[in-house]
Chain A
Amino acid sequence: MGEEEVVQKRQKAVVLVLRAAALLATAAATIVMALNKETRTFVVATVGTTPVTASITAKFQQTPANVFFVIANAMASNHNLMMIGSDLFGIDYRGFKLPLVAILDMLNAALLSAGVHGAAFMAQLAKNGNSHARWNEICDKFQGYCNRGGIAILASYVGLLVTLGITVVSIVKLLKPKPQPQPLASEIEVP
């Protein structure tokens, strides 16, 4: 009985560490992408001898895929935070906790996957442009914006991998056979 408890404690510690890693990764991705902003001034025309400048700002709100990326990563970090909280403070759902956690982890993984892929393909479009649609690349002008966006997407990919690991662990826990409830000695009727 003592060894089983040690194994369970170790499993709980592993899951807690994985959740903390996922929380850190997705929170970093959210913050870096949400604060992503760069302003550049360009010389547009020259009137006589004075150059006419225009300043253009690149913000993450201008691309719907990046907005979805920020929202998806924020929801994923929130989910991980709630799960860490409920693991540490031991809220009991009367046996429904394990399937709830597994299903929520699955939904989390799918949401995170959608967010990161939309932003990743938009980043590829911004970096390479698309000659067929006559869309120019913008990363040569806004290098800081593109670098920060790339870092956010990378952090989110790491969070996605860790979230997949957590989902696997949750489902494996569901696959274990459940212990049979032993009848109490006082409930056994003696014929």
Chain B
Amino acid sequence: MAMSQRATVILATRLIALIATLIAAVVMASSHEKGTIFGAISYEAKYSDTPAFKYFVIANVVVTIYGFLVLFLPSESQLWRLVLVFDLVLTMLLVSSISAALAIAQVGKKGNSHAGWLPVCNQIPKYCSQTTAALVAGFVGLVVYFLLVCYSIHRDLDPFLVRKN
């Protein structure tokens, strides 16, 4: 593959990752819905009710800002090795944020009969579906970042000893 073709493919991949994390952060942060319990008590469900969802939004915002800044790095600079390190660290951050948000979302959807926690998705279906969409977008961003890390290791560290010098 020619160098310019490879650079274009990498640019497109980083753009996809940026869009995925941006969608995850925005959709999760803008999800709120008013619901009623037994028709009498009304409450509003927001993303800030749970620290896990707050962590998810913050992690995705951080990764979005980083992804936006990395797009402006010229391809010949030596800083791409630092980009590899940051990609690794931010992939781990994304993994942890998705795991935390998924754990709490699973309790919200299925409940936990042993602890006496009732599922709340029946009262606030729109909030639940928006949260699911945000989690899916976050997962897509994670997979793309993982592929980017694998490619960066292949290009910079040459693990398969392809280069002769």
Closest B-chain residue to A98, C-beta based?
B159
| A-chain residues with CB within 8 Å of residue B106 when the two chains form the complex | 64-65
| A-chain residues with CB within 8 Å of residue B103 when the two chains form the complex | 64-65, 118-119, 121-122
A120, A124, A133: most-surrounded residue (chain B CB, <10 A): A133
A56 to B112, CA, bound (A): 14
Task: Tell me how far the C-beta of A110 lies from the nearest C-beta in chain B, rounded to whole angstroms.
Answer: 5
A106 to B107, CA, bound (A): 29
| A-chain residues with CB within 8 Å of residue B102 when the two chains form the complex | 118
A99 to B157, CA, bound (A): 9
Known: A62-B114, A121-B55. A99 touches B159 (CB 8 A): yes
A133 pairs with B49, CB closer than 8 A: yes
Closest A-chain residue to B146, C-beta based?
A110
| A-chain residues with CB within 8 Å of residue B159 when the two chains form the complex | 98-99, 102-103, 174
Task: Tell me how far the C-beta of A97 lies from the nearest C-beta in chain B, rounded to whole angstroms.
Answer: 10
Closest B-chain residue to A138, C-beta based?
B115
A114 to B159, CA, bound (A): 26
A161 to B9, CA, bound (A): 34
Contact of A58 among B45, B96, B97, B114 (CB under 8 A): B114
A126 to B99, CA, bound (A): 17
B96 pairs with A63, CB closer than 8 A: no
A-B contact pairs, 11 of them (CB 8 A): A64-B106, A106-B149, A110-B91, A114-B95, A114-B98, A118-B99, A124-B51, A132-B45, A132-B49, A134-B120, A135-B118
